[in-house]
């Protein structure tokens, strides 16, 4: 099967019509501890995905729920196994923009809540050597965050429209505010932030005082309404000059760490992906490429596949996603912590709700898991 065509037809767990993104964000393997192994791993996942879809074609009927679930299983496994390729052959770059985009592709394509199951994601606040100029995990976490707080519903019941508009300014304004606190000058078009900002401005635009509650940097949003603002409160209707910025994403030079910290790592991810990975030995020539990482583009979920780029750069356009498995070697299971050479601190994902805990309602993951497990058997190591 022709891979570009195949990539164009696969589905993801997101709403119908959204195509998943399985691209290799480091398409040349530049700076990886094992560049050849990294590229070979990605190629294996593409091949496995073709086999997986072939299995679906042969064992289920197109147009049925069983067929859709089977294809979704193929997608989820490919997205998960791409993460495995990084842990196996490019673990020194796990704080980079490209690795974070790989993790985001997984969460977005499987329609899962952002969680700590992806090792080293999001990077810790202290990440320095080999780190992306913007913590994209924090950005995505806030962009997809759904607050189950019913504060504004309660306010609406009181009939006080001014109070309701104030509450809505807090409710819809905090994700944008938090993102701009983390990455005020970065070009975040690759994550669709411009649309996010525009949508937010429309939602709160009915406020008679242009959401003055946010300009006053008041604690009301947090203390009275319970919305998780982080840092200085920014009003989406009254943005500081130069925000959001247009500085291209880039990586700092160096490696997150030069010793993985464990001889093997067991990676388990939805839907049914499990691999015991032997991380490649450190290569003295390894190191994250510096320079711009994609200056423009659309949201990851609407990008198009087959895009290419040189080391250290992320193509802004591309569409498609699918599934496969990591080719990690068998070893004893352990938990990786990583030894830092800069300020990186290993595999801890941030637990800060206001910065990283992205939440998505209506995830299809649990509803299709039973129907896709049989397709994942193809990806067992």
pLDDT in tens, 122-173: 999 999 999 999 999 999 999 998 777 889 999 999 999 999 999 999 999 9
- For residues 72 and 172, membership in a common domain is answered with no
- Say whether both 169 and 194 belong to one domain: yes
In a domain, residue 291? The reply is no
In a domain, 219, yes or no: yes
Domains in the chain, number? 2
Neighbours of 370 (CB within 10 A): 10
Q: Are residues 124 and 208 in the same domain?
A: no
Same domain, 127 and 10: yes
Whether 362 has a pLDDT exceeding 60, the answer reads no
| Residue 229 belongs to a domain | no
- Asked whether residue 370 is domain-assigned, the answer is yes
pTM summary value: 0.77
Does one domain contain both 195 and 259? no
38 and 14 in one domain? yes
Considering the domain architecture, whether residues 68 and 203 belong to the same structural domain is answered as: no
More confident residue, 20 or 366: 20
The 10s digit of each residue's pLDDT in 48-101 is 999 999 999 999 999 999 999 999 999 999 999 999 999 999 999 999 999 999
Structural domain includes residue 264: yes
120 in the same domain as 61 = yes
156 and 104 within one domain: no
Name the domain boundary from 204, 223, 242. Answer: 223
Q: Does the pLDDT of residue 311 top 60, yes or no? A: no
pLDDT at residue number 330: 26
Report the distance separating Cα 377 and Cα 381, nearest Å. 9
* Residue 356 resides in a domain: yes
Whether residue 232 is contained in a domain is answered as no
- Residue 262 and residue 212 share a domain: no
Are 259 and 115 in a shared domain?
yes
231 occurs within a structural domain: no
Does the structure show a pLDDT above 70 at 366?
no
Range of the domain at 56: 3-133+255-286+316-379
| 127 and 48 within one domain | yes
């Amino acid at each position: 099967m022709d891979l570009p065509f195949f990539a164009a037809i696969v589905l993801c767990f997101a709403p119908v019509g959204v195509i998943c993104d399985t691209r290799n964000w480091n398409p040349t393997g530049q700076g990886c501890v094992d560049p050849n192994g990294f590229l070979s791993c990605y190629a294996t996942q593409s091949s496995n995905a073709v086999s997986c879809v072939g299995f679906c074609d042969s064992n289920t009927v197109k147009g049925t729920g069983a067929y859709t679930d089977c294809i979704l299983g193929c997608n989820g496994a490919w997205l998960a196994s791409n993460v495995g390729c990084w842990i196996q052959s490019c673990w020194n770059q796990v704080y980079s923009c490209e690795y974070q985009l790989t993790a985001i592709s997984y969460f977005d394509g499987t329609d899962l809540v952002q969680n700590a199951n992806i090792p080293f994601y999001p990077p810790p606040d202290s990440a320095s050597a080999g780190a992306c100029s913007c913590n994209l995990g924090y950005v995505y976490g806030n962009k997809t965050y759904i607050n189950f707080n019913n504060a504004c519903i309660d306010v609406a019941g009181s009939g006080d429209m001014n109070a309701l508009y104030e509450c809505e300014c807090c409710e819809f304004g905090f994700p944008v505010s938090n993102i701009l606190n983390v990455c005020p000058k970065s070009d975040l078009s690759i994550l669709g932030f411009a649309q996010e900002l525009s949508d937010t401005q429309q939602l709160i635009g009915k406020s008679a005082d242009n959401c003055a509650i946010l300009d006053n940097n008041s604690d009301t949003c947090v203390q009275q309404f319970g919305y998780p603002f982080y840092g200085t409160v920014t009003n989406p209707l009254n943005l500081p000059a130069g925000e959001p910025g247009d500085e291209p994403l880039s990586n700092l030079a160096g490696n997150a760490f030069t010793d993985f910290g464990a001889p093997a790592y067991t990676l388990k991810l939805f839907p049914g992906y499990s691999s015991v990975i032997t991380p490649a030995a450190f290569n003295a020539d390894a190191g994250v490429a510096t320079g711009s990482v994609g200056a423009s583009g659309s949201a990851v979920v609407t990008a198009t596949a087959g895009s290419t780029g040189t080391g250290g750069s992320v193509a802004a356009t591309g569409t498609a996603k699918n599934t496969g498995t990591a080719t990690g070697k068998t070893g004893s299971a352990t938990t990786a912590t990583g030894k830092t050479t800069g300020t990186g601190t290993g595999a801890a994902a941030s637990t800060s709700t206001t910065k990283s805990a992205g939440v998505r309602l209506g995830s299809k993951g649990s509803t299709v898991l039973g129907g896709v497990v049989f397709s994942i058997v193809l990806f067992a190591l």
